[in-house]
Amino acid sequence: MAEEARKEDDAGHKQTLKASLHYTIGKICSEVSAGCDLTLSKQVMAVLTEVASRQLTLYAGDLEAYASHGKRTVINSDDIKLLVRRNLYLDCRRRKTRRRRRRRRRGRGG
C-alpha cells in the first residue's frame, strides 16, 4: 500500500517537473521566435520538452552513477565535471571559457 502511494507521488512529481519544463521551454521559444520573427508550433515545443526531459533524465542517471562510484550519496562538483567532459558540446564550451579566462588573467598581468 505504501509502495503504491510512493509511486503515485513519484508520478505526480515527474508530471509537475515536466509541466514546469514545458512552461520554461515555451517562454524561451517565445523570446527566441520574437527575435527571429517566426512562430513555433505547440508540437515543436512539446518535442523540445520531451527531448530535454529525456536528456535531463540521462544526466541525472549519470550523476547518480558517478556519485555511487565514488561511494557517496551526494552529487558534488566533481560529478558535474565528469558529466560535462563526457558531453562533447559542453566540454568544448568549458575549454573555450577556460581559455578566455586565462587570456584575461594574462592581460591583467596576473
Per-residue pLDDT tens over the stretch 80-109: 999 998 888 888 988 999 999 999 988 876
Buried b (16+ CB within 10 A) or exposed e, 16-35: eeeeebbeebbeebeeeeee
Give the residue among 76, 75, 55, 54 at the shortest CA–CA distance from 64: 75
Helix segments in the chain, DSSP class H: 2-36, 42-69, 77-86, 88-107
Per-residue pLDDT tens over the stretch 32-54: 888 888 888 999 999 999 999 99
Cα separation values, 82 from 57, 60, 78, 104, Å: 16, 12, 6, 26
Fold of 2-75: Histone, subunit A (1.10.20)
Residue extents of the structural domains in the chain: 2-75, 77-110
Residue type, 77: S
* Its pTM surpasses 0.75: no
